[in-house]
């Protein structure tokens, strides 16, 4: 059996596997009638078919056999998952162009209430509709679609291998079958270089490492901006950042806490969004604090951050979580806020507001500790932009046009 990611009855699982069997059977029938290369290129990267057509054939036959055996699998190798995902895409596209008797001949087996569960309300009918939409097989058969994002993960690997491995649990060694030969060679070279540089990485100071890690994480989150705009709260976003960075920092002997109590708030002790510390030769050392706030509370977030700090903390960072304002307006307002920032003439910015080299839209400011004149701390100011109305509109219009084209073709 193929892996199933949601809880379903045995009958439903068998029917889904049978339907995938029929999809593969149609693909192989077309391969035999015409030629394998023409159709295998629909479900494999072209370089895979060109370099190893026999391997591709075997993967298709193995997937077909899996749908008929009784083993309960929990995992498919990435290249198998890629082929299965693209097979479903191919089926949906091919059947959308068919009608009448031809479509009837290759129709899949419906999942009905009588053989699976009793339908007694409207919600159950919705479940049946969901299960009988082949496009939803992608959500049923896969926990994630990492195999579709190898180019993005490879780019991230070039920047910081540990972000892929520690935050997203992506071991690119498992995905080399989905890389073109030149990229595979480049990856192997980078992998060897990174292995030899692990010791050198230990010399990177904590501040650089933490700021780089926060930035890289936010950059990766840009790929999921719709989710973080529509389905995520400020608290949820802070939780995601904490959970993603926790294991990464532990590898460096750094600790990050969420909602730690420290410093001052309006009433009582403050609660920090992020609190970072380490132990050095058995001695506890605070390192940094961080604050995440939705846009509209930037000045407040800086004041809160400073209120949570003391002269022992080396630096801090703010994250603007933007869900509703154009980025140009934020950049302008943020800069104006920083230029005039002070708290009763303390904590003014000393020197220039710096743009952090190599980072997009990250600013660095220097402030003096009022308790110890002549000592300073730095604040880094990030933006996570989940508001892209033009991109969202373009995607909606593309889907609308595709749907209209499909409907006119069936008319």
Residue given tokens 């989905």 in the structure block:
178
pLDDT per residue over 62-115, tens digit each? Answer: 999 999 999 999 999 999 999 999 999 998 888 877 654 444 555 566 665 444
What is the side-by-side order of every strand in the sheet holding 270-280?
A: 254-262, 270-280, 283-294, 315-322, 376-385, 363-368, 354-355
The set of residues, in sequence order, having a beta carbon less than 8 Å from that of 131 and lying 6+ positions away, is 8, 12, 16, 111, 140
Rg of the chain (C-alpha set): 27
- What residue spans define the domains of the chain? 10-148, 149-202, 204-390
Gap between the Cα atoms of 181 and 157, Å rounded: 17
Higher-pLDDT residue of 375 and 51 is 51
Closest CA to 292 of 269, 275, 311: 275
Reported as type and span, the H/E element at residue 384 is strand 376-385
In Å, how far from its chain's centre is CA 343? Answer: 38
Residue given tokens 């110890």 in the structure block:
372
pTM, rounded to two decimals:
0.51
Strands annotated E in 235-356: 254-262, 270-280, 283-294, 315-322, 354-355
**pLDDT at residue number 71:** 93
Reported as type and span, the H/E element at residue 393 is helix 389-410
Handedness of CA 202, 207, 212, 214 (dihedral sign): positive
**pLDDT at residue number 403:** 53
Max mean pLDDT range (122-131, 225-234, 267-276, 326-335)? 326-335
């Amino acid at each position: 059996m193929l892996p199933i990611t949601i809880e379903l009855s045995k009958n439903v699982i068998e029917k889904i596997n049978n339907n995938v069997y029929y999809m593969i059977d149609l693909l192989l029938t077309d391969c035999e009638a015409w030629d394998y290369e023409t159709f295998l290129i629909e479900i494999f990267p072209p370089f895979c078919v060109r370099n190893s057509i026999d391997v591709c054939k075997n993967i298709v036959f193995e997937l077909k056999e899996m749908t008929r055996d009784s083993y309960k699998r929990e995992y498919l190798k990435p290249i198998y998952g890629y082929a299965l995902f693209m097979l479903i895409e191919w089926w949906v596209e091919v059947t959308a162009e068919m009608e009448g008797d031809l479509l009837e001949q290759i129709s899949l087996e419906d999942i009905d209430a009588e053989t699976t569960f009793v339908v007694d309300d409207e919600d159950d009918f919705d479940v049946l509709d969901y299960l009988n939409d082949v496009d939803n097989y992608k959500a049923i058969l896969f926990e994630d679609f990492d195999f579709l994002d190898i180019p993005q993960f490879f780019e991230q690997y070039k920047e910081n291998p540990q972000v892929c491995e520690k935050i997203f649990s992506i071991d690119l060694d498992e995905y080399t079958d989905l890389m073109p030969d030149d990229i595979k060679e480049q990856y192997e070279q980078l992998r060897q270089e990174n292995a030899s540089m692990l010791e050198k990485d230990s010399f990177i100071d904590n501040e650089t490492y933490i700021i780089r890690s926060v930035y890289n994480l936010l950059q990766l989150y840009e790929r999921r901006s719709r989710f973080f705009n529509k389905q995520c709260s400020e608290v949820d976003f802070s939780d995601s950042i904490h959970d993603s960075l926790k294991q990464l920092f532990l590898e460096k002997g750094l600790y990050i806490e969420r909602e730690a109590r420290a410093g001052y708030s309006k009433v009582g002790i403050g609660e920090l969004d992020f609190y970072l510390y380490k132990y050095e030769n058995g001695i506890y050392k605070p390192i940094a604090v961080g604050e995440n706030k939705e846009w509209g509370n930037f000045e407040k977030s800086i004041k809160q951050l400073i209120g949570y700090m003391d002269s022992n903390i080396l630096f801090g960072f703010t994250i603007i979580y933007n869900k509703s304002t154009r980025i140009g307006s934020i950049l302008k307002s943020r800069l104006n806020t920083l230029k005039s920032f002070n708290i009763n003439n303390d904590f003014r910015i000393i020197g220039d507001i710096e743009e952090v080299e190599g980072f997009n839209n990250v600013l660095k400011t220097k402030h003096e500790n009022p308790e110890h004149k002549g000592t300073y701390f730095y604040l880094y100011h990030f933006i996570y932009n989940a508001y892209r109305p033009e991109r969202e509109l373009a995607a909606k219009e593309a889907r609308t046009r595709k749907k209209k084209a499909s409907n006119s073709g069936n008319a």
